Amino acid sequence: MHSIKINGGNTLSGTISIGGAKNSIVALIPGAILTDEEVIISNVPDISDVKALENILKYLNVDYSKKNDIIKIKSKDMVNKEITKNMSSKLRASYYFMGSMLSRYKHVEISMPGGCTIGNRPIDLHLKGFKALGATITETENKVIIDAEELKGNKIYLDFASVGATINIMYAAVMAKGKTIIENAAKEPEIVNVATFLNNMGARIKGAGTETIKIVGVEKLHSCFTEVIPDRIEAGTYIIMGAALGDKLKIENIIPQHISTVLEKLDEMGAEIEVNDDYVIISKVNKLKATSIKTLVYPGFPTDLQQVFASLMCIAKGQSTIKENIYENRFNNLFELIKMGANIEVNGNKAIIKGPNNLSGCEVNATDLRAGAGLVVAALIASGETTINNADYILRGYEHIVKKISSIGGEISLL
Ligand code: EPZ
């Protein structure tokens, strides 16, 4: 496992270019096997989760090539084999092979997915959707076997607007017989990215981005080209970094509307931010004001940015509060911030941060991807040197993070 070493306190200025969205590409790659023709995807981020999915495709004898940010996938000679634990446990998104391989083969054997330890993260809604389409599920202690004579469209209500379940059910329904309606569907931008990709392949999907998605099954899907949308969470991470340490820091290749709630919160805190069509420019201000956030499904405040936002709240004046409504266990980073000198009280899914705090560098541990990103921001703010252990978590979702932060004046190295 790598560590990241940071000497904090530097002002950050220059330009950060945002890459393709992790939470899109980790769905698009498993979805590419819905056709045996060539699929081309551009703006692919250089992150380890993509590598983990490449390994699964190659294990299934799928032709995969990557040149710069473009990948080509051709699954004409694909073999339907069990996806074992050592591969599926690398990331949560391995579960998208359930929907795509069920669609293609009507039989899937796969071990349970991995993913950040931020809650118990069940997949009951995914399995509910597959069953509604006619599949039978056999679950052993760590494996799922899914079979279907035939897949038939149905109406499926999601008890929670789950991103993963919405996408997985789309994959299982695109070639099912008849019409499928997903109610209380997730509305995240990544859902729209995936639906556009499927429609480019010849699917008939309407309503992506709203709470009701309608899918009319088609016989076959064909080759297509699609582009990954900018990563709104990577963008938000660097914008929050800029609110703490920026001097006209430019964050470009973004879709500001995708993080409008984060921008509104930064405005409430008094951040100096200029929002343009596809970039923002942000500078630190002396006294940021405390604020409160409650994480919600899109377009509410994104749970994936609450841990990063907590680091900024440490230097805001007054009492800030966080209410985490999506996951049961997404506060581990706060205990690391307390080690750095932050005044934080944690009580269940609520946290109170009293600021401003003078953060001091020390040795901390990344417990998950976004906790790690939050610690990077805290270490850049802190005086002195910080070592962040278990930094591989961070490399799962932030392409070239050391290079990008070094390029804007941060003193950071990967060990
Ligand atoms: C996706 O996870 C993202 N991951 C997460 O980002 C993100 O936090 C989450 O959506 C919410 O936006 C990927 O896209 C790979 P969910 P996913 O299904 O699909 C409950 C990151 O840091 N639930 O919307 O797993 C679940 O327990 C990661 O990039 C069920 O109860 O999220 C959780 O409380 C972290 N049953 C809530 O829904 C199910 O079958 C959100 O889960 C599925 C989910």
Would the pLDDT of 117 be above 90?
no
Tell whether the model's pLDDT for residue 120 goes beyond 90: no
For residue 121, what pLDDT is reported?
Answer: 86
Higher per-residue confidence, 155 vs 121: 155
Higher-confidence residue of 119 and 319: namely 319
176 and 133 in contact (C-beta within 8 Å)?
Answer: yes
Least confident of 27-41, 64-78, 105-119: 105-119
User: Ligand 1 mean position to 164 CA, how many Å?
Assistant: 6
Question: What is the residue with the minimal CA distance to atom 37 of ligand 1?
Answer: 326
Asked if pLDDT for residue 412 goes beyond 90, the answer is yes
**Per-residue model confidence as pLDDT tens digits over 21-47:** 999 999 999 999 999 999 999 999 999
Phi and psi dihedrals of 315, rounded to 5? Answer: -105, 5
Q: What is the mean pLDDT of the chain?
A: 97
Question: Whole-angstrom distance between the N-terminal and C-terminal Cα of the chain?
Answer: 9
314 in active site: no
Neighbouring-strand partners of residue 389: 365
What's the CA-to-centroid distance between 296 and ligand 1, angstroms?
A: 12
pLDDT tops 90 at residue 265: yes
pLDDT at 380: 98
Distance of CA 76 from the midpoint of ligand 1 (Å): 31
Provide the 3-class DSSP secondary structure of residue 329. Answer: coil
Q: Amino acid letter at 197?
A: F
What is the per-residue pLDDT across 273-318, written as a single tens digit (0 to 9) for each? Answer: 999 999 999 999 989 999 999 999 999 999 999 999 999 999 999 9
State the closest ligand 1 atom to the C-alpha of 328, by its place in the atom list counted from 1.
34
Compute the average pLDDT of residues 45-67. 97
- Give residue-wise pLDDT tens across range 317-356: 999 999 999 999 999 999 999 999 999 999 999 999 999 9
379: pLDDT strictly greater than 90: yes
Catalytic residue among 116, 224, 314, 362: 116
- The residue whose CA is least distant from atom 39 of ligand 1 is 123
Q: What is the position in ligand 1's atom list of the atom closest to the CA of 161?
A: 24
User: Do the Cβ atoms of 87 and 71 come closer than 8 Å?
Assistant: no
Nearest one of 132, 128, 25 to 69, comparing CA atoms:
25
For residue 189, the model assigns a pLDDT of 98
180 forms beta bridges with: 215
- CB-based contact 267:290 (threshold 8 Å): no
pLDDT at 315: 98
Query: Quick one: residue 376, left, alpha or beta (phi over 0 = left, psi -120 to 50 = alpha)?
Result: alpha
DSSP for 302-343, written as a single string: -GGGHHHHHHHHTTSBEEEEEE--S-SS--HHHHHHHHTT-E
Looking at the CA of residue 23, tell me the nearest atom of ligand 1: 14
Q: Which ligand 1 atom minimizes the distance to the CA of 298?
A: 12
The model's pTM: 0.97
Predicted pLDDT of residue 251:
98
Domains of the chain as residue ranges with CATH:
4-19+230-414 (3.65.10.10), 22-227 (3.65.10.10)
Residues touching ligand 1 (Cβ under 6 Å) are 22-23, 26, 92-93, 116, 119, 121-126, 160, 162-165, 186, 303-304, 326-327, 369-370, 397
Span 58-73, average pLDDT: 98
pLDDT at 194: 98
